[in-house]
Amino acid sequence: MAATTDHGEEAAPEGPSRPPSPRRGRIATAVSVFGELLITAGVILGLFVAYSLWWTNVVADRAAGKQGDKIRDQWKGNNGPGALDTKNGIGFLHVPAMSQGDVLVEKGTDTKILNDGVAGYYTDPVKAALPTNGKNGNFSLAAHRDGHGAKFHNIDKIEKGDPIVFETKDDWYVYKVYDILPETSKYNVDVLGAVPKESGKKKPGKYITLTTCTPVYTSTYRYVVWGELERVDKVDADRTPPKELRE
């Protein structure tokens, strides 16, 4: 019996279903595969970001902590005046505004050194002046801003007037931030000069310069902070930090 409509009319018979077009099937398959590839790529990218921004920090902090403990143990075992050990580290940088605790400082700024979660002083293209020699010059440093310890991640939290303290076996070198350059070319080596003229200085003095990449998560430009030495405090038997680190 033929099917009828609600009005009692005989419904038109349904024709035979047409098989899907082979071309349309191939397109659907390609879209499905492409979607799965995008999902897989997203997962891989997420894992890579997690590795770059988290796991490398964990590994670098462990390495830096181990090396820092070794340096402090060496200091305790040597009661005489301590010469700088440029192989394993020369001291520790303290910048309260960055909330990084003590940052081990080593010789050099190449990736292999900075990847260990430390700050490095420049040897090229401009040689840093170490504060321990008592001479005028610029103690210029670099560290990663993201990944591998990210010791200068919060460099943008530093303000003019903030303290920067460099700790050695025998002395605390207390600097005061006097100028900041939020963005400059990565090729601008003048910021590392013995007299950093871009900071407004015109005469030799005892300066410190912190540099790192900017904007965050890129290496397009450089962020620069300049400080000037205010005083040098002798380390006592208890290694009592200067007041700038106790406030």
106-158 pLDDT, tens digit per residue, is: 999 999 999 999 999 999 999 999 999 999 999 999 999 999 999 999 999 99
Q: Could you count the other beta carbons within 10 Å of the beta carbon of residue 118?
A: 27
- Spatial CA neighbour of 104 closest among 158, 135, 141: 141
Q: Which residue has 């070198």 as its token pair?
A: 173
Sorted by where each begins, the domain ranges of the chain are 54-245
Instruction: Report d(CA 216, CA 213) in Å as an integer.
Output: 7
Active site residue ranges: 213
Structure tokens at 111: 């990736």
pTM here is 0.79
Region 183-202 average pLDDT: 97
Architecture of the domain whose range is 54-245 = Beta Barrel (2.40)
Question: Are 242 and 165 contacting, i.e. CB atoms less than 8 angstroms apart?
Answer: yes
Per-residue pLDDT tens digits for 147-170: 999 999 999 999 999 999 999 999
pLDDT at residue number 233? 97
- Spatial CA neighbour of 59 closest among 153, 120, 150: 150
Question: Are 107 and 86 contacting, i.e. CB atoms less than 8 angstroms apart?
Answer: yes
Look at 4 and 222; give whichever has higher pLDDT.
222
Per-residue pLDDT tens digits for 73-100: 989 876 655 555 555 789 999 999 999 8
240 pLDDT above the threshold of 70: yes
Q: Please, which pLDDT band fits residue 42 given cuts at 50, 70 and 90? A: low
